[in-house]
Structure 1
């Protein structure tokens, strides 16, 4: 089967979890004997191969390429966003290259860089080809992709302009035969908002490769307990609440707090003497922190989809203390592999931290169950479910 994977970016241009999942899917499909080609954006046109995966990187028709522009001015940003509302030039270019590949299946992921004009171009040239799209965020519902107001509050009732934009995009997206959501929460959100019918969307959870000898990572009794946060240092991620909770924790020689990431609250984190701040980490450094960590914090105050760092933590045998919001409860089962708390409740966070610190057997139970969760939702299962979906269309 010839499979075209389309995403705004691709390794080494990793913006978020979508790029990681697309790369894992490309490699997994290729290993199963399928011919895979990835189509993505770049500051210049480039055709290359990585691990037997063919990649076409295409230059977008806009005034700059976002990953390469560190601090665009307000005028530049305004022009870029105006052109990015509906950009047939970028869409036409990438579809020309997809036509040359002549795929049996087209699988879209994040396509915001190509805009909804991509749907129109695909309808013109691939009306008979099955097209699938995995939803990694709220792009179809929110121009910011996040459902967040400027002050960090969740947007519950989408304003008129957002609704008009959503209707326009969804109308163009009729070419999609099936949408895939990594979480049940995201699926139900799109159905509730009447953006996608329940017949056109199904859930396939994100997954990661199995780790070798991962059960050896469960710590023995009386070793120091490492609490870890990895992610954006922003208000909607619950950083302010987490810092308040940590300040309330009774100091104990068994506890250490490790933070990694960047964001507008970075200076607040740096001021906390009892927090070891690592800055932004990735690759082997991130793996090292996860493999040595005991408990991961997911204190979000917004509608997380299916946070990949939560899957990574389970894969490394970490317990998770997280918020009961969005797709987090689909990774964390309260009392089984971690603790779920009300979003924004610092007192509950403090109690959860101290409870784990006092109860070694509870911590080990949660860690073992996280490993069981990771084993159940593994990468092979994810790839097989996508292949089954392709064949059903």
Structure 2
């Protein structure tokens, strides 16, 4: 009798907290629907989805909370190498031996301490690179608001020298120590059988930083376009949906909005909100701030926009928001950086502009506004067709299944 295929799905959080968690949970649903038994491994959290395996989850770590020096020291040790996570994963794979393990985000909570335990039991291990942490100690290849690759070639002392994490010498120093330990013991390089890169850009960037190209598989993210219906009516605004953070290029966007005399809606929250409100007032830009929206409201907002705009000024990976806009039949204006150009066909599904160039972005906003609603709908419709063909859940599952079978 053939043993049922069992996927050990690993991520810090077991609820829809952000883009990585959405990919993780969609992945679980796809493989469960394909007949796999899926066993999750995560951190305990009040917002977690229910699971019969939750007794094996690791205890919650809440950074920035109250606690004395001893508590903070214990947390720092867990960031680097969680003995608890290693014990729990050993118990879990003893109870439910997996066919394959697929990790998503494990940094700072679960930690890569579990990878050696999986390797010792002969469990093939795949990890999706949702960010650039396995190359850049500070995740984003971003320092002081600018793209930075100083740590390439092992020069990781730069993360402390330039205080790349939260502009803090203490936190950056801890991240430096974490990276030294992880690299010294090969906690990623010697245990991961395949890395999954959701963008070709991330695949190529990781190779530039020393990862073996033969160990990286390009598997783009997916979206179920059938769950999205293009709106019948179009509003008179463009929309940005996401975190209000410096690297997202939103100051450039506000300036471009003022220059082009367009109406902008910023959907989301983040540390830049106050500064952006002030800038909009100074520039005379018409900008509305919605704060965080639930999924139905966000779908409605994007679906009725003239376009989604993604003005990022850092190495974005493969933003799900672009696929969502296409699924809703809306065009996308994006910047030529990171994985964004892979998802925006200039002149066919939207427009591409140079990052940080407010004048060029303003021209693109104005040009899109000058199109007829039918012409904008045609751009968005081409995006929807592309999603249905290339970024469907079925394509994602088939590509991932082929990877699993190659490791089996």
TM-score interval, smaller chain: 0.7 to 0.9
1:43–1:58 CA contact under 8 A, matched in 2: no
User: Which residue of 2 is the match for residue 385 of structure 1?
Assistant: 399
Q: Which runs of 5+ in 2 are unaligned?
A: 158-175
Q: CA deviation at 1:364?
A: 2.5
Q: Deviations over 1:235-268 (max 9, x none)?
A: 1110111111111123xxxx53211111121113
Q: CA deviation at 1:206?
A: 0.4
Q: CA deviation at 1:318?
A: 1.4
Q: CA deviation at 1:78?
A: 7.1
Q: Structure 1 residues 100, 58: closer, same or farther in 2, change over 3 A?
A: closer
Q: Structure 1 residues 313, 95: closer, same or farther in 2, change over 3 A?
A: farther
User: Which residue of 2 is the match for residue 152 of structure 1?
Assistant: 145
User: Which residue of 2 is the match for residue 190 of structure 1?
Assistant: 206
Q: Structure 1 residues 55, 378: closer, same or farther in 2, change over 3 A?
A: farther
Q: Structure 1 residues 264, 287: closer, same or farther in 2, change over 3 A?
A: same
Q: Which runs of 4+ in 1 moved over 4 A?
A: 69-79, 162-166, 169-172
Output the CA distance in 2 between the equivalents of 1:117 and 1:164: 14
Q: CA deviation at 1:205?
A: 0.3
User: Which residue of 1 is the match for residue 350 of structure 2?
Assistant: 338
SS of structure 2 residue aligned to 1:278? strand
SS of structure 2 residue aligned to 1:329? helix
1:269–1:275 CA contact under 8 A, matched in 2: no
Q: CA deviation at 1:58?
A: 4.7
Q: Deviations over 1:336-368 (max 9, x none)?
A: 111111110000110001001111254223111
User: Which residue of 2 is the match for residue 210 of structure 1?
Assistant: 225
2:115–2:187 CA contact under 8 A, matched in 1: no
User: Which residue of 1 is the match for residue 248 of structure 2?
Assistant: 237
Q: Structure 1 residues 55, 275: closer, same or farther in 2, change over 3 A?
A: farther
Match of 1:22 among 21, 24, 28: 24
RMSD, matched Cα: 2.6
Output the CA distance in 2 between the equivalents of 1:123 and 1:29: 22
1:227–1:297 CA contact under 8 A, matched in 2: yes
Deviates more, 1:198-207 or 1:172-181: 172-181
Output the CA distance in 2 between the equivalents of 1:41 and 1:19: 12
Output the CA distance in 1 between the equivalents of 2:318 and 2:12: 19
Q: Deviations over 1:17-40 (max 9, x none)?
A: 111011111111111111111111
1:114-153 equivalences under 5 Å are 114-124=110-120, 126-127=121-122, 129-149=123-143, 151-153=144-146
User: Which residue of 2 is the match for residue 368 of structure 1?
Assistant: 381
1:211–1:316 CA contact under 8 A, matched in 2: no
Output the CA distance in 1 between the equivalents of 2:263 and 2:238: 6
Q: Is 2:178 aligned against 1:178?
A: no
1:1-393 equivalences under 5 Å are 1-11=5-15, 14-43=16-45, 48-49=50-51, 55-56=53-54, 58=56, 60=58, 65-66=61-62, 80-112=75-107, 113-124=109-120, 126-127=121-122, 129-149=123-143, 151-158=144-151, 159-161=155-157, 164=180, 167-168=183-184, 170=186, 172-194=188-210, 196-211=211-226, 214=229, 216-217=230-231, 219=233, 224-250=235-261, 256-271=263-278, 272=280, 274-360=286-372, 361-376=374-389, 377-393=391-407
Deviates more, 1:164-173 or 1:340-349: 164-173
1:204–1:382 CA contact under 8 A, matched in 2: yes
Q: Deviations over 1:255-308 (max 9, x none)?
A: 532111111211133444622211012322222222222311111100001111
Q: Structure 1 residues 226, 211: closer, same or farther in 2, change over 3 A?
A: farther
Output the CA distance in 1 between the equivalents of 2:68 and 2:318: 32
Q: Structure 1 residues 287, 2: closer, same or farther in 2, change over 3 A?
A: same
Q: CA deviation at 1:168?
A: 3.4
- What is the total number of aligned residue pairs between the two structures? 371
1:218–1:367 CA contact under 8 A, matched in 2: no
Q: Which runs of 5+ in 1 are unaligned?
A: none
1:259–1:278 CA contact under 8 A, matched in 2: yes
Q: CA deviation at 1:73?
A: 8.0
Output the CA distance in 2 between the equivalents of 1:387 and 1:193: 27
Length-normalised TM-score, structure 1: 0.86
Q: Structure 1 residues 83, 105: closer, same or farther in 2, change over 3 A?
A: closer
Q: CA deviation at 1:323?
A: 0.7
